Amino acid sequence: MNPMTKEIENDFLQYIQKMTSFQEALNLLYWDMRTGAPKKGIQQRANVVGVLSSELFQMSVSDEMASFIASLSPHEEKLSPTVAKILEECKKEYHRNKKIPTQEYKEYIILQSKAENAWEQAKEESRFELFRPYLEKIVEYKKRFIEYWGYEGHPYNALLDLYEPGVTVDVLDPVFKKVRTFLVDFVSKIQKSPHKPKTDFLFEYFPKENQRLFSLQILKKMGYDLEAGRLDETIHPFEIALNPGDVRVTTHYNEQDFRVAIFGTIHEGGHAIYEQNIRHDLIGTPLCAGTSMGIHESQSLFYENFIGRHRHFWKKHFDLLKRYSNGQFDTVSIEEFYRAVNEVKPGLIRIEADECTYLLHIIIRYEIEKALFQDEIQVKDLPEIWNLKYKEYLGVSPQNDGEGVLQDIHWAGGDFGYFPSYGLGLMYAAQFYYSMKKDLPDLEGLLETGQLIKIKEWLNQNVHQYGKLKKPLEILMDATGEELNPEYFIRYIRNKYTDIYRLYSPENRHV
């Protein structure tokens, strides 16, 4: 590389650092709004967020950015692997943002905000018709965007690429079909089992402050670094990374259902441990973040379900929970508790679903979105199709659109292609789980003796450290030696719930 190019590279990295600085400021502004910013300042705060966001967007499509891309791309093979990856990310974003005519994008942003308002009202009144005209326009815009961006194969691939680069309809179709077939059958068996867990003790009073103290204990044991993070209260819990030395977790407390905070904190803690352990040399670059929505979700779900709802995790921690609780578990055995927190209950609402039925909620949305973007169905058909699929896959029927097709905000925001990532997260997590068990054969022993740190180390090594240096399916292949394979998820669910609901076939049964 000639000295001239070196100089451009340095300028580029400085430009990038400015962008990540704006992003860190934005993240703090967001966190603060959700955890305790005085309400009378929110209006002006929204202006501040608007100014910084627009600045960041402008920088991603500026002439300066174009000139960095033009100057550095011809020398790509001479750049360090990290700088080459940063350039790739910037290029991708540049083209994605630049291909949409400015005026059209502005109109879309305004529409988005109107659509979200309309959705909110429509959901409240359970009237899809109020939302329909907005959703139709959103879909029209998105279809045009897809044409601007271009795609290979199915048009829906352009949307999947936004959240899970490398994952296409060709990857998902066979996987989701297999999982769906298994789950529909398996969940119906569970439904018929006479061995239902007892759950009444889950809903007794558990003081908020004690929930907080217990959650903090568990976060520490998981290896969440409290000198590089903090736990705060909010309405809708989230994790947010300012930089790897400052990754914050928020949670919500319900004194009549401690599961909300405890499993919620473990979930967000999983996200946070990911961000805290990204290689520090990536700080100040766009690579210093989880590589995709799906891999991120795999980490939170891994901790929440594969660890936090594991029998051996509670063998170690049930006594601690008892000490913080209000006495409601005094006559409950570990086994009863374990079964209670793993209750399977097909329902209408995605965010309340258990790990066993969750993927069916996702698959319904995936099938609908794909059909919508292939012009096989229209927006006006959505409520009917929605209700049919819920009946068919989960055996439940919404009483109204509020608890049906209107339940999620995603479509109002134009976030089509996002839902599959949630489902991928579960399947990635299962695949990691069995791969981890090969490296740590006594995983149950580690859980029972509280050595959660070994688990974190495995994830650090195989997943966290890379940030966006590897794409999601690369991470999966390198960590597990395989492509995406839904058999792991199926095996996990079958083993776990056959046991919990005593679904052993007669010949396998040991009484």
In the complex, the residues that contact its own copies under the rule CB under 8 A are 17-18, 21-22, 24-26, 28-29, 32, 36-45, 47-48, 51-52, 55, 225-230, 242-248, 283-284
Give me the least distance between CB of 298 and its own copies, in Å please.
25
Scan for tokens 């005026």, then name that residue: 103
Nearer to its own copies, 221 or 248 (CB): 248
Nearest to 483 by CA among 492, 471, 494, 495: 471
Closest CA to 142 of 411, 426, 328: 411
| Residue 227 annotated among the catalytic residues of the structure | no
User: Cα(first)–Cα(last) distance of the chain, in Å?
Assistant: 72
What is the closest distance, in whole angstroms, from the C-beta atom of residue 24 to its own copies in the complex?
5
Cβ 192 to its own copies shortest distance, Å: 50
Going by the annotation, the residues of the binding site for Zn(2+) are 267, 271, 297
- What are the b/e assignments for 458-473, b being 16+ CB within 10 Å? bbbebbbbbbbbbbbb
d(CA 140, CA 137): 5
* Cβ closest to its own copies, residue 55 vs residue 448: 55
Q: Which is nearer to its own copies, 229 or 290 (CB)?
A: 229
Least spacing, CB of residue 150 vs its own copies, in Å:
34
CA distance 402 to 417: 21
CB-wise, 239 or 415, nearer to its own copies?
Answer: 239
Q: Binding site: residue ranges?
A: 267, 271, 297
Among residues 280 and 380, whose Cβ is nearest to its own copies? 280
Pairing of strands 239-243, 246-251: antiparallel
Q: Which is nearer to its own copies, 24 or 343 (CB)?
A: 24
CB of 120 to its own copies, least distance (A): 23
DSSP for residue 280: G
The continuous run of DSSP H or E covering 488 comes out as helix 487-500
Residues 424 and 483: beta-carbon distance below 8 Å: no
DSSP letter (8 states) at residue 328: T
Which 3 state secondary structure label does DSSP give 241?
strand
Choose the catalytic residue: 268, 304, 367, 369: 268
Lookup: tokens for 12:
């580029």
Note the Cα 200 to chain centre separation in Å: 30
CA distance 457 to 451: 11
Query: In the bound complex, what is the minimum distance in angstroms from residue 50's beta carbon to its own copies?
Result: 8
Spell out a b/e string for 375-406, using b for 16 or more CB atoms within 10 Å of the CB, else e. eebebeebbebbbebbeebbebebeebbbbbb
Catalytic residues: 268
